[in-house]
Structure 1
Amino acid sequence: MNIAWKEIKKNKVRFMILGSIVFLVSLLTFIISGLANGLSQDNAALIKDLPNGQFYMSKDANETYNMSRIDSSIQDKMLSKQKDAVAFSIQMGFLNDRAGKQQSVAFVTSTDSSLFKNVKKGEIVLDRSMEDKGIKIGDTLTNNQYSGKFIVKGFVDQRKFSHAPVAYINMDAYKEIYRVNEMQLIFVPGGDSTQVAGLQSFSNNQFLNTIASYKAEQMSLNMIVWFLVIISGMLFAIFFYMMNVQKIGLYGILKAIGVKTSALFKMMWTQMLFITVIALVLSVSLSQVFNMIAPKGMPFSLTTDTTVQLSIVFLIIGFIGATLSGIQIKKVEPLQAIQQGEI
């Protein structure tokens, strides 16, 4: 420990450069991860906030929710057998506000359930983001495919689907707008997957991956996050490898006077831990500040769990990178290393 600290003080610039790079990479990783989480909520909060359970859609829909149609007899049978089950439908559409301007929304309707807002005919409940567009409780909204009008009865928090605010409407209004009689999906909270003739079941995560925009978006962002994590591990391996090459003579002398290889590894791990912890403390602090001051319209959400998980991953990757670079320490022969020259 003492030797590790003395070397850090002696080679401040080298360790500061490595620490700065780790800080920048980890900060970028936290920011992108927060963006991925924020976009995930903005894309599918309606589904993500549901409890664990099973989603059912028709097999001939080819895992495309908006092509699914649940036969009414199957729906009635499942809802009668599963007390908490709910049938619901989602379709993208638009509303005309008081000024005649079209607002994109995701229309949602469902059977009676505490999991979804149930509204009366002629009423509508919107995601709270619609308030920012000037819509208020009591406003009258219209849709070109609907003969009646919608009166805004309230707002709900964090209900988005496909980056559009959710609009809960009555089932009769939904059927009139989209000229359908069947519901698209059935959700059974906490239920184990059971085979139902003509239907295909999905867990929450599996269903999210059937949403094309969600899968593509999250895959791209998560790939960037893990790519940055791997880069940080490579940086540690390269940095300590170069340091170790320059210290072959020193390692030979230390081994000659009885210092064990394990002690040399501990010295390297201590240096890695010191650099990584300081870099992570700074990057976590800045990313949390950004989380608080991020513009309201930016889909950014960096949770404590995500921050802790990524920090642990960075420490593990740093440990692996430093250890791989230190394999040469084990191979150092004291006499041969000393003969190669002083440090």
Structure 2
Amino acid sequence: MNIAWKEIKKNKVRFLILGSIVFLVSLLTFIISGLANGLSQDNAALIKDLPKGQFYMNKDAEETYNLSKIDSDIQKEILNKQKDAVAFSIQMGFLNDKDDKQQGVAFVTSSDSKLFKNVKQGEVILDSSLKDKGIKVGDTLTNNQFSGEFIVKDFVDQKKYSHSPVAYINMENYKEIFRVKEMQLVFIPGEDSSKEFTGLQSFSNEDFLNTIPSYNAEQMSLNMIVWFLVIISGMLFAIFFYMMNVQKIGLYGILKAIGIKTSKLFKMIWTQMLFITIIALIISISLSQVFNMIAPEGMPFHLTFKITAQLSIVFLIIGFIGATLSGIQIKKIEPLQAIQQGEA
């Protein structure tokens, strides 16, 4: 520990450069993770907020939820047997506000359930983002395919689907707008995934999210960038300590000659890695949380403590691996030969 600290003080600039790079890479990683999670919420908060369970859609729909139709007899059987089960449908559409301006929404309707908002005919409950469009409780909204009008009953927070605000409407109104009789999906909350029903295909929460158009491609691209940045940080540690070790072959030879064990030299490298990484992470986490608080309201940025903690642990593990790989050459150093080469 003492040797590691002395070397950091002796080579302040080198370690400061490495720490700065790790700080910038980790900060960029946290920012992109926040954007990825924010976009995920903006794309599918309606589904992500549901408890763990199983989604069911018609097998003939080929994993395309808006082509699915649940047979009414099967739906009735499931809802009667499964106490907490709910049948629901989602369809993209629009509402005309009081100024006759179209507002894109995701219409959602369901059977009676605590998992979804249930409304009376002629009423609608909207995602709170539509408040920014000037819509208020009590406003009258219309739809070109609906013969009546919708009265805004209430607003809910963070209910989005496919980057559109959700509009909860009554099942009968939904059927009139989209000229359908059947629901698209059935959801059964609970961890048991063994239930099978004739003609239906089941999906876990994560599997169902991947059936949403654009969700999988969007998240895969952003997550790939995150992991690419994490790998880069590991490579930085490996290259930095490798170059440092090459310059100190003579010093390591002398230390080995006076009885310093190889394990102690590794501990020195690990101590330096931890010191640099922890300081860089503390600064980058602080700045990313500040950004989380001051990010513009319209920006889909959501960085949770859980994601921050997970990425921090990954950075430490990757840094440890990188520093360890760079130190493998220390094991091969022969004291006499290293001393003869001289200390760089």
Give the TM-score of the pair, scaled to structure 1.
0.99
Unmatched segments (≥5 aa) in structure 1: none
Pairs within 5 Å for 1:125-164: 125-164=125-164
Query: By how many angstroms is 1:228 displaced?
Result: 0.3
Q: Take 2:213 and 2:284, find their aligned partners in 1: how far apart are those partners?
A: 33
Provide the secondary structure at the position in 2 that maps to 1:152.
strand
1:41-65 per-residue CA deviation (whole Å, 9 max, x = no partner) reads: 1100000000111100000000011
Matched with 2:326 is: 325
Give a deviation string over 1:291-316, Cα, whole Å, max 9, x none. Answer: 00111111101001111110010000
Q: Report the residue type matching 2:22 in the other structure.
A: V
Cα deviation, residue 195, structure 1: 1.4
CA distance in 1, matches of 2:293, 2:331: 47
SS in structure 1 opposite 2:233?
A: helix
Q: Give the C-alpha shift of residue 213 in structure 1.
A: 1.1
Q: What's 1:265 paired with?
A: 266
- 1:212 aligns to what SS in structure 2? coil
Residues 1-343 of structure 1: pairs in structure 2 closer than 5 A: 1-190=1-190, 192-193=192-193, 194-343=195-344
Matched to 2:61, the amino acid is A
One-letter identity of the residue aligned with 1:269: W
In structure 2, C-alpha distance between the alignment counterparts of 1:333 and 1:210, rounded to whole Å:
59
The aligned amino acid for 2:207 is: Q
| Alpha-carbon shift at residue 342 of structure 1 (Å) | 2.2
Q: Distance in 1 between matches of 2:205 and 2:240?
A: 43
- Partner Cα distance (2:192, 2:2) in 1: 57
In structure 2, distance between residues paired with 1:146 and 1:204: 32
2: CA distance, partners of 1:217 / 1:78: 34
Inter-partner Cα distance in structure 2 for 1:148 and 1:74: 31
The residue type paired with residue 76 of structure 1 is K
Q: Provide the C-alpha distance between the structure 1 equivalents of 2:162 and 2:214, rounded to a whole number of angstroms.
A: 7
CA distance in 1, matches of 2:285, 2:41: 21
Aligned-partner Cα distance in 2 for 1:340–1:147: 90
Letter in 1 for 2:240: F
The Cα offsets for residues 23-46 of structure 1, whole Å up to 9 and x where unpaired, read as 000000000000111111110000
CA distance in 2, matches of 1:128, 1:73: 36
The 2-side partners of 1:281 and 1:77 are apart by 55
**In structure 2, C-alpha distance between the alignment counterparts of 1:120 and 1:341, rounded to whole Å:** 86
Structure 2: distance between partners of 1:214 and 1:197: 28
1:65-100 deviations in Å (ceiling 9; x for gaps): 111000000000000000110000000000000111
Matched position secondary structure for 1:285: helix
Query: CA, structure 1 residues 191+339, in 2 after alignment: closer, same or farther (shift >3 Å)?
Result: closer
**Structure 2 CA distance, aligned partners of 1:43 and 1:28?**
22
Q: Counterpart amino acid of 1:26?
A: S
Deviation at 1:341, TM superposition (A): 1.5
Residue 212 of structure 1 and its aligned partner are, at CA, apart by 2.4
Amino acid at match of 2:269: M
Distance in 2 between residues matched to 1:22 and 1:191, nearest whole Å: 40
Amino acid in the other structure paired with 1:306: I
Task: Name the Cα RMSD after superposition.
Answer: 0.6
Amino acid at match of 1:34: G
Residue 122 of structure 1 aligns with an amino acid whose one-letter code is: G
Cα pair 2:38 2:301 within 8 Å, conserved = yes
Displacement of 1:191 after TM fit? Answer: 5.1
The whole-number CA distance in structure 2 between the counterparts of 1:273 and 1:170 is 57
1:192 shift after superposition:
1.8
* Cα contact 2:247–2:343 (8 A) shared by 1: no
- TM-score (structure 2 length as normaliser): 0.99
Distance in 2 between residues matched to 1:29 and 1:296, nearest whole Å: 21
Cα shift readout 1:77-134 (whole Å, capped 9, x = no counterpart): 0000001100000000000001111000000000000100010110000001110110
